[in-house]
Chains A and B, each alone.
Chain A
């Protein structure tokens, strides 16, 4: 039981490049989330998916797109990376009956030059 997995662990991009961050969970959770964490800003919600087939914007969605591929997988895409998107990205999932317990993946450290 791996929990929440994320790939890649680290990535360096040049401004304007695109990339997709992958996230998968094996806990049969309905809800999945993407956060970014920056110094002094805390965790901020980018997008979330309450269930398979649905996605909604969070606090900071600009510059990102998401896909809930199936119940297990929730990907985050940067179409044209900008230096302001340099951050640590965390994916999380939760069960509907225990929404306060979000299980996080190990994170992806992204540097945009």
Chain B
């Protein structure tokens, strides 16, 4: 089983919609997770971190469900500029390494 697994999508939503992505993880000992955003043909960039208490930043909310071993990303009031691939990320083993999911593609349409 992969360390982190995501639905690849694409999720096609109208502007203004609320959309949620889930990511399942296999290492029950992981304490924190991250969501990165990757625009088409660009490099990934950190969007937000997810700890046990969850995290909210404007229209974006990330939550961690330890019992079911998944993290979620909720985007409210979707904008065209939110169109991107969202990568679920988990720290790996020791050191400063990360394991990246394959990403969920979001397309926000007029």
Contact = CB atoms under 8 A, between A and B. Distances in A.
Interface of A: 31, 33, 35, 40-45, 48, 50, 56, 58, 90, 94, 96, 99-102, 104-107
B42 A106 contact: yes
Interface stretch (B59-67, B75-83, B90-98): B90-98
B32 A42 contact: no
B97 A58 contact: yes
A58 B87 CA distance: 19
Nearest to A59: B99
Contacts of A42: 87, 100-103
A107 to B, nearest CB: 6
Interface residues of B, number: 21
B100 to A, nearest CB: 4
Contacts of A99: 91, 95-96, 98
B22 interface: no
Contacts of A106: 42-43
Contacts of A102: 44, 46, 98
A12 to B, nearest CB: 17
Contact of B43 (A58, A101, A104): A104
Nearest to B32: A100
Nearest to B90: A100
Contacts of A96: 96
Given A44-B100, A50-B95, A99-B95, 11 more contacts: A42-B102, A45-B97, A48-B96, A48-B97, A50-B96, A99-B91, A100-B34, A100-B46, A101-B46, A102-B44, A102-B46
Most chain-A Cβ atoms within 10 A of its Cβ — which of B46, B97, B99, B102? B97
Nearest to B103: A42
B55 interface: no
Nearest to B6: A42
Q: Which 5 A-B pairs have the closest CB atoms?
A: A99-B96, A104-B43, A42-B102, A43-B100, A31-B96
